[in-house]
Structures are given as C-alpha cells and as structure tokens.
Structure 1
Amino acid sequence: MFCPSCGHPVSEGSTFCPGCGRRISHVQEPAQAAAPNPFGPASRLLDSLDRAMGGSGHVDVKLSNFFDAVFRRHARGEADMLFACGSPATTPPLANVSRFWPHPWLYSRVFLVLLVATLGLIVLVRFAMNPIGVPGLMFVSSLMAPFTIVVFFFETNVPRNLGIARVIEIFFVGGVFSILCIYPISALLPGGGTGELGASLVTGITEEVSKGVLIVFFVLRLGGRNYILTGLLVGAAVGAGFDAFETAGYVLEAFLGANQTNLLNDIIQSGLSAREVAAGIAQAGAVHYPADMDALFLEVVGRMPTGFCTHVAWAAVTGGAVALASGGEKFEPSHLASPTFVGIFLVPVAIHGLWDAYIPVLSDYGVLGMTLDQWIFAAAIWVVLVLLLHRGVVQMNQLSAAAQKSALAAQNGTPGTDGRGANLE
C-alpha cells in the first residue's frame, strides 16, 4: 500500500510513513476518473460541467475528503512535515507523488489561530479601549479567511513542488502588484464601478485580468511542468493577497469614517507635512468611542464570509485554468489563447461582475453577512473549484502511474509512456 500524503510505499500495519513521516491513519484507493453517480441530478450536472471543461464526464468527488481529517487529532510534528516541501530534497519524484485524494486539515487550525488572534485584538480594542490594537485587528482579520484558503490549497497540492516560503512570496508580492496592475488596465478599460451591471462587469474584467497577470508571471517563474493543483495554489495565493490588502483598506475606511477618510485621501494626494496632518486631524475630529469602533467591528465581521468565496476563489480558478490549458506540461503564453483557458477564465470574470452588480430581489435579502445572490455565486465558484480539484487529482493519478510504469519498464529494458499513450523513447 502507499502513503495517502506522499505516495511512498508503506508496509501493512505501519503507523508512520517512511517517506514523509506523517501518521498513516487510513489508506484509500487512488482517485479514478470514472465512477458511479451516487447523487442523482447533482452528479449528472457535475459530470456535464466536467465534460464542458474537457474532462471525462465522470466526477467522483467525496466532499468528506476535505473535512474528515479536520476532526482527528494530529501531532505537532505533522504540521511541520506538511511544510517540508518545495526543495529538490523534499519534492518527491513524479513516480512517488500521491495518487490519492488529499485529506487537508491544517487549514482549519490556521483559521482557528487567526480567529483567536482576531478575538483577542477585539477585546484589546473594544473593551480595554487600547487603540494600539487597531492596526493589528485590521490586518489579522483581513488575513483570516483568504489565508485559510491558501493553506487549504497548499495541502491539496499533492506534487509538493511549492514550498511555503514561495507561497508567502506569491501572497505578498502578488497581492500588492495585482492591485497596482488595476491602474494601467483601468486606463485601457475605463468605466468600472459597482451596482450597475455594465460597470460591474468592467470591474470584474479589470480586477481578474490584473490578478491573472501576476498568476502568469509566477507560473512562468516556477518553470517546469504546470500541474492543475499547483496552479490552484498559485492563483489562491495571489487572490488571497489581493483580498487581504483590499479588505484591510475597507476596514480602515469604516474605522475612520467619511470625514477622516476624505482627510486621509487629501493627505496622501497633497503630501502634507506632519504638522499639517496633525492640524487636519484635529479639525476633522478625533475618533469617538463607541460609534467608530462599532463601524470597525461591523466591517470586520461583515466581510469575513466573503473572504472564502471572492478574490481568493476567483483567482484560484484562473490559476487552475492556466495549468489545465498547459496540459501538465511547461506553461507557454500561447496557452492563454486556448478555448480551455478562455472558457474557464470567463467564469470568475462573470461571477465577479455579477457579484458587484445589483440584482433585484436577490440583492435585497441576505443571511450571515451575504446577500442571496452572493450565496449563489459563492456556491457556483466553489463548484468550479471542486471540479478543478478533481481534474488535478486525476491528472496526478495518471502522471504518477505513467511514471511508475516507465520506471518499471526501464528496469526491464522496455519503453514506457507519458500517461497519454505516447512512447517515452
């Protein structure tokens, strides 16, 4: 049998994997491209969507795979082993890459850590009345949802070819520069906004293209074979950085209020001196408890649900589309013209535009911090992500099996194949 994390051969009854050191809780069969449909119409819809994305049309997805390991006890060393990847010494050969559905769990612990830190900062600011915690509250609360999703895709990246240091680099650099890219793109495509459908769609195009530029940049920097699961991770990291910085800005605006936000804009744009800044703040009025703090807390809580299903999810789909278009080979810019990439990329663009638009009735009612139409769009983007995860696992299953067959053939002195039937000689 094989380790469900790294694919290393494991003897029957073993408690730990000799390859990656993780505890062997259970072993399942490799993901198969074809499987029976146990969920009726919903599964048939997933199969149809998979065919539309160029897949086999048979989706075998157990959502429990994404949550079952969350509720198990894990030793601290297991988290350390998860982060030990990405270097030549810790990236497994393709033949040893896991061919099993991943069972992520660390993302839930990261979420809890950030949630506890956010609650602690709320106590510090709201009840201890200590303003020193305000900047930390703005940034940590903005990280909570998007960075959790980044860790989720880090765990599901079974090729283990991208280390956490590189992911953090993509998060910060990609997040900042994807926001900066909006300005030249907006100059070429003006008229963006929210509320009205046309302006919202322009905003969707502008922001998704800006994130796409950074995703392509980092994919090109990584080089090598471009796997779907890795593309999802790169896209999620760029989108999470974008989301975190944008959300922190919105929380700051809520905290300052309209008058002081306008003053801050004047300060930045005019380059006033520190003395003039102080005089301007005094004229605008100091922050008053509890009104401004209540606005801060409402913004923190209100934007938390959207962090799981907006920029980080939209950009992850773009990253997966880039990888899917390259077919598991080295990415080339010409792949961006393929119908596969264009068709899938239009999904986050359209959902982003509709998300920002006002839709009668659906936009008038909400639950748990999101309107009804936003819940529909959140479900839609995660359906696409689950399909891409399925395609990614099937891709690694095929490539790993082909590599193992090739290695065995080399030992026997016969040629192998590359997973698509092509001779490796």
Structure 2
Amino acid sequence: MNGHRTASEGRTGPRPWLQIFLAGLTLWAATVVVTVWTQNTNLVPAVILLGSFLVPVTFVVWAYEKGRGRYVTVELLFTTFLVGGVLGVLGASILEAYLLKPSVLIYVGVGLIEEGVKLLALAFVARKMRRRTTFDGLVLGAAVGFGFAAFESAGYAFNALFSGEGSSLRQLVETEILRGVLAPVGHGLWTAITGGVLFAAGHDGRWRITRGVVLTYLGVSLLHALWNSMYGIAVALTLVLTGRPWQFSALRVGQIPDVTETQVHLSTVLDWGGLVLISVIALLWARHLFRRASASG
C-alpha cells in the first residue's frame, strides 16, 4: 500500500476537497453579496473567477485523493490543470474557428476537436513521466478536463454578464451555478476516461496510440457531441412525437412554429433526461476503468 493512501486513510477530519469547496463557496457567495450591495463592478472579475474555478478545482483535488495516482505530485497536478486547461482552450478555439462551419453535424466536430486537443494537452504536460498507471491517467486527465472547463466557464460567465441590455450580474450568477452543477459530468469526466486508457496503453515512458485509445477517443467525442446537441435532439423528438400539422407546415416554409405548453414541458424532460443518460454512461465507463486498475494493482 502506497504512502499516499495510508495518509488518506488515517485522516479523521474533513477531506481537503470538502474544505476547499466550502471555503470557496463561502468566498464566492460573499463576493456576490458585496458586489450587489455596493454595486462595485471591480469585484465582478472575482465573482467570475471564484465561480468558474470552484467546482473544477474541488473535483481535481477529489480525483487526486480518490484516484491514488502512483506517480502524480501536487505540483504536476496543478500544472496539468492550468497548462493543460489553457492549451486545450486555445487549441480548440483555433481549430473550431478554422475548421467548423454551421451544419447539422457541427457538434460532432466540436466533440472531436475538443476531446482531441485535451488529449494532446495531457500527453504534452505528462511527457516527462517515465512511469505511468491508469490511475495517473484518470487523475491527470480529470485535471486537464476540469482546467478546460474552468476557463470555458469563465468565458461563458463573462458573456452572460453582457447579454441583453446592459450588464446583468444575475445572469452571470445563474450561468455559473448551472455550469458548476454540470461540471462534474462534463469535460473532467470525459478526459479522465481518455487519459486512463492512454496511460494504460503506454509502455516504458512512451505513448502508444492503440486501437483502444482511438475507440475511447471516438466514444468520448460522441458523448460530448450528444451532450452539446441534446437540446436540439429533444426539440426534434418532441415535434416527432407531438407535432401538429400546422407546425410542420410552418417548418416547410422556413418559419419557426409556435409551441404548446405541453411540448415545452416534454422537450425539457427529454433534454434533461438525455443529459442524465449521457452522464450515467460516462460515470459507469470511468468506474469500470477505476475498478480494472484497482484489480490489476
């Protein structure tokens, strides 16, 4: 049994990840309250950064404790989070700007690009590791994914601040809460899966792109694409199941038809149901990797 695990098992107080989450949540809430109370816009960047990084940082620390990375140091963990996250966001922005055009399959392209650049960023930051395990890949993959999610969420929060007329702190806060709730089953989870498989396939400190790595990358990219397109899928399924003739007539002439209250409720249920199903699939996949790595020692 390694020393890290022994230290963790001997700890009787609150876990570090829980301490980080509670302290960060308190600071974020206090910053929001003071910003609203004083109308001091200088505090808005603090609201954005605290809200965007709180859940990703918390789950990186949780993954570090849970994953028992054999050769992952704290320094490497947070270097991976920051450098991998930034490289992933920059790479995805460049490739999506030049390669993607509006189409029905645009989210397939987004999934392939974003999962690809995160995997490359992970390989880059971990290139000097001479010994790697599946646990290490799960932990560092989660670090890259959550770093990507944190910087991406900061951008969404910034855009939400200026959506509509004037600035809206309420929309910023709502965006951060929603993305914080969804963050654990998004980028961090997907890149943890590909990271675990990539590290398991390596040998003697060298990366190997095996059939399993390619299939995992394609599978995770598909989950990513389905996640991003779930709202559109839900709307389409709602129209197929409950569409009225006059709605289809409006669509044929290029108009957006009005929808009934029942259709709004059904599309919402289908949307969230789809997101839950995608999350369950990814969680079971990651759990399988974790158990297989545990069984192999």
TM-score tier, shorter chain, comes to: 0.7 to 0.9
Shift of the alpha carbon at 1:300? Answer: 1.6
Q: Deviations over 1:103-129 (max 9, x none)?
A: xx4322222222112111111112343
Q: What displacement does 1:203 show? A: 0.6
Question: Based on CA coordinates, which of the two structures has the bigger radius of gyration?
Answer: 1
1:152 corresponds in structure 2 to 62
The verdict on how the C-alpha distance between 1:343 and 1:130 changes in structure 2, with shifts beyond 3 A counting, is same
The question of whether the paired residues in 2 share the 8 Å contact of 1:235 and 1:315 is answered with yes
Q: Deviations over 1:316-346 (max 9, x none)?
A: 11111101222xx43433x21x121122222
Structure 1 CA distance for aligned equivalents of residues 134 and 187 of structure 2: 18
With normalisation by structure 2, the TM-score equals 0.80
Q: Secondary structure of the equivalent of 1:173?
A: helix
Task: Classify the secondary structure of the residue corresponding to 1:133.
Answer: helix
CA distance in 2, matches of 1:332, 1:386: 25
Cα separation, 1, equivalents of 2:185 and 2:102:
21
- For the pair 1:251 / 2:152, whether they are aligned, the reply is no
Structure 1: which 5+ runs fail to align? 8-19, 26-72, 76-104, 260-285, 398-425
The one-letter amino acid paired with 1:391 is R
* Runs of 4+ residues over 3 Å off in structure 1: 2-7, 22-25, 183-189
Distance 1:344 1:232 in 2: 13
Structure with the largest fraction of helix: 2
Contact 1:192 1:200 in 2 (8 A): no
C-alpha distance in structure 2 between counterparts of 1:366 and 1:250, whole Å: 24
The amino acid of 1:185's aligned partner reads L
Distance (whole Å) between structure 1 residues aligned to residue 75 and residue 44 of structure 2: 28
Shift of 1:183: 4.4
2:281 maps to 380
Matched AA of 1:216: A
Residue identity matched to 1:129: Q
| Corresponding residue of 1:228 | 134
Paired residue total:
266
1:199 aligns with: 106
Matched, 1:355 2:227: yes
Q: Which secondary structure state, in structure 2, belongs to the residue aligned with residue 220 of structure 1?
A: coil
Measured in 2, the distance between the counterparts of 1:332 and 1:388 equals: 20
Structure 2 residues not aligned, in runs of 5+: 239-265
Q: Distance in 2 between matches of 1:171 and 1:306?
A: 18
Kept in 2: contact 1:219–1:231 (CA 8 A): no
CA distance in 2, matches of 1:373, 1:23: 37
Cα distance between partner residues in 2 of 1:245 and 1:4: 33
Q: State the identity as a percent.
A: 23
Counterpart position of 1:320:
196
Asked if 2 retains the 8 angstrom alpha-carbon contact of 1:192 and 1:203, the reply is no
**In the TM superposition, what whole-angstrom CA distance separates every residue of 1:247-301 from its partner, at most 9, and x where no partner exists?**
0011011112257xxxxxxxxxxxxxxxxxxxxxxxxxx64xxxx1221121122
